[in-house]
Amino acid sequence: MTTYTNFTVETDTDGIALVTWDMPEKSMNVFTAEVMDELEAILKATVADAGVKGVVFTSGKSSFSGGADLTMIRGLFSLLHEEQAKDPQAAKQKLFDVAGRMTWLFRAIETNGKPWVSAINGTCMGGAFELSLACHGRVAANSKSVKIALPEVKVGIFPGAGGTQRVSRLANAQDALQMMTTGQSLTPQRAKAMGLIHQVVEPGELVTAAKQMIKDGLKPVAPWDEKGFKAPGGGVWTPAAAQLFPAAPAILRRETAGNYPGALAILKCVYEGLQLPFETALKVEQRYFTQILGTTEAFSMIRSLFISMQELGKGARRPAGVEKSEFKKIGVIGAGFMGASIAYVTAAAGIPVVLIDRDQEAANKGKAVSEKLVADSVAKGRMTKEEGEKLLSLVTPTPDYQTLADADLVIEAVFEDRAVKKAVIEQVEAVIRPATIFASNTSTLPITGLAENSKRPDQFVGVHFFSPVEKMMLTEVILGEKTGDRALATALDFVAKIKKTPIVVNDTRGFFVNRCVFRYINEAYDMLIEGVPAAMIENAAKMAGMPVGPLSLNDEVAVDLSQKIMKASIADLGEASVKPAHMALIDKLVNDLDRRGRKNGQGFYDYPPKPAKKSLWPGLKDFYPQKPAAEVDVDTLKQRLLVTIALEAARTVEEGIVTDPREADVGSILGFGFAPYTGGTLSYIDGMGVKTFVALCEKLAAKYGEHFAPTPLLKDMAAKGETFYGRFDPYGQGRVAA
């Protein structure tokens, strides 16, 4: 056996070398410069050793590999920015060479003269699947844990280590484009049906089956290196391709509004590459990959959706020196939909949870939410019957507060009413241990005010979940004025345990996400009042990169909730805090027309019985005189919707609510889908330059109102040529807590 830092190589009596990738002190294998150096050395050694007849490549971990390492990706961008300042042309050449390192290493494996088989035992993503595609044989385990994907488009780039060329030569072009432009995960069975892998075998037989392929005489030549090779479906110059390729850019534009350069590059790579010899096609892919790496979109998306999301998920904001929490039991108060869903994700993480409500019947109703979610998962094959039963056994519905006596953490998720929450806090604190942390799930009420009802405000923290809890990946952890480090650490440990991404924000009305969301919705109210047709508002939002239009979003969160929030603002902050025209619009919808949103089947949209789809309510156009569509500038609508949200995010930084730009960016994308191609709210500003953003704000303020006026912080940053990531550097200040 030969041992490397990240690999072991063991050659059996048949001359088959088993290369096992198992990186020390990492939960998942990832590509680093060292891994590629070692892989190159292994390739040379196996080629030189006459006793080696073939190679089986597998992982020593439960997953295969997640692709590229954070530090390697960050290094690429550092290289680009440093070198560009010195010599832009040389920087491009250097980036081209670095970007091609993986491409040509994998090509060397493919043409080494000895058969390689990839034995895929678990998650196989990105560069790891591109390596597998360069092997001559691919075997995957028949297991739910095996997910095969080229998800690079989701972080602004594309499969640039041969992925676009090999997938489009193994699968038909339509399936290949669908897989790569969406970044979708494939089951082993689907990957086999597409022609991307050769066999699916039981997990225990994986390596044996891979070795058998070599014993059976697997040719060490890729199909495209054989004479007379034709791509599935016949390549580009066929009747089928004549239908596919002219339509593909239009379909992509419909889905992405042209906001994702990486997705368009996939189409170009496949279309051009299929007309060229394979190695020339790899160079074309390498050129496009270098070009995409240089875009603002790629830089911003990778920073937020890859690097920052992982850093926050791993506890970047966790206070140092606080012992890690062990959760033996968690209490959830309030068995309504939100509390019931929090109980479900807690049990899904393997933690026993007591779900408390006023009586046994109400508590049982809460558990029924978990029962339905489990039944759906079992029906869809995402969970076995036994797994479902185990999960449900961890949820105990009860009206008895005494069951909280040994809880490590109690989460309150009762009605958004200060008096109701005060009563719950007092009841809970009467029975819990001195060390237990209390978390309030509230979407609008300031935590400091709620903590005044607690005898131990240092152990009181806000944890704001988003609905539906089981699907939404973000959680806001809110610090009251007296919240201590242990309460923060416990909340972050819990969020990590249930596999959500946390952002830590200081206390304010609406915290971070809801403040931004309601600016988005309020801008739509302004547009409606101006006479902009509702359909144009919704379509402009989608063209700007938002997943749903503001009116549709308002229906989802409930129109009468908007009314309650406006009334609460007026009660607490005075009449000037809400525009009278906004209040009149919402009062008319709720009080006069009973249009409360999706929940009662009518809001800004009508919701007919399924399978009919929702449609904008025609009566909306009679509220205000309508502008002709030709008089409305769609680009301005797009700018207004994005700028008003980004401006609110900048205000939260200026007010000290958000102290880390990573959290504003990740929170805005995960919380309400802020145009992901921008990298998030602050990256949107940094991406265009603060000076340009300020000028845009001033232009919009002159025409559409003072709420677009740039803040003193933004003006100061524009004058100094600063960025948010420069001025509020999350790495250089050594901060862990707000």
For every residue of 670-685, DSSP letters joined together read: HHH---GGGTSHHHHH
Do residues 255 and 353 share a domain? no
pLDDT in tens, 429-450: 999 999 999 999 987 778 998 9
Rounded distance, CA 697 to CA 355, Å?
48
Rounded distance, CA 489 to CA 563, Å?
35
Q: Decide if 667 is inside a domain.
A: yes
Q: Which residues neighbour 75 within 8 Å (Cβ) at sequence distance 6 or greater? A: 33
Residue-number span of the structural domain to which 251 is assigned: 2-294
Among residues 294, 322, 343, the one where a domain terminates is 294
Rounded distance, CA 72 to CA 79, Å?
10
User: Contact at 8 Å (CB) between 686 and 725?
Assistant: yes
* Between 208 and 96, residue with greater pLDDT: 208
Summary mean pLDDT of the chain: 93
Q: How many CB atoms lie within 10 A of CB 688?
A: 15
> Which pLDDT value is given to residue 132?
98
Q: The domain spanning residue 654 has which CATH number? A: 1.10.1040.50
Q: Decide if 376 is inside a domain.
A: yes
Q: Which residues neighbour 652 within 8 Å (Cβ) at sequence distance 6 or greater? A: 505, 508, 512, 515, 516, 658, 664
Do residues 656 and 531 share a domain? yes
Among residues 492, 510, 528, the one where a domain terminates is 510
Average the pLDDT over 404-413 and give the result: 95
Extended beta strands in 91-248, E state: 116-120, 124-125, 137-141, 148-149, 199-201
Evaluate if residue 388 carries a pLDDT over 90: yes
Q: Decide if 315 is inside a domain.
A: no
Do residues 569 and 503 share a domain? no
pLDDT in tens, 319-360: 988 999 999 999 999 999 899 999 999 999 999 999 999 999
Do residues 161 and 253 share a domain? yes
Do residues 372 and 384 share a domain? yes
Average the pLDDT over 269-290 and give the result: 96
Do residues 159 and 83 share a domain? yes
Do residues 504 and 530 share a domain? no
Q: Which two tokens stand for residue 21?
A: 């990738």
pLDDT in tens, 136-150: 999 999 998 999 999
Among residues 272, 294, 316, the one where a domain terminates is 294
User: Contact at 8 Å (CB) between 560 and 602?
Assistant: no
Q: How many CB atoms lie within 10 A of CB 589?
A: 25
Rounded distance, CA 467 to CA 461, Å?
19
CA distances from 435 to 201, 319, 400, 708 (A): 50, 17, 20, 46
Residue length of the chain: 738
Q: Which residues neighbour 727 within 8 Å (Cβ) at sequence distance 6 or greater? A: 717
Do residues 255 and 374 share a domain? no
Q: Decide if 310 is inside a domain.
A: no
Q: Decide if 94 is inside a domain.
A: yes
Do residues 353 and 475 share a domain? yes
Q: How many CB atoms lie within 10 A of CB 723?
A: 17
- % of the chain surpassing 70 pLDDT: 99
Q: Which residues neighbour 121 within 8 Å (Cβ) at sequence distance 6 or greater? A: 58, 59, 62, 63, 64, 141, 143, 146, 203, 206
Residues classed as catalytic: 464
> Which pLDDT value is given to residue 737?
31
Rounded distance, CA 653 to CA 606, Å?
38
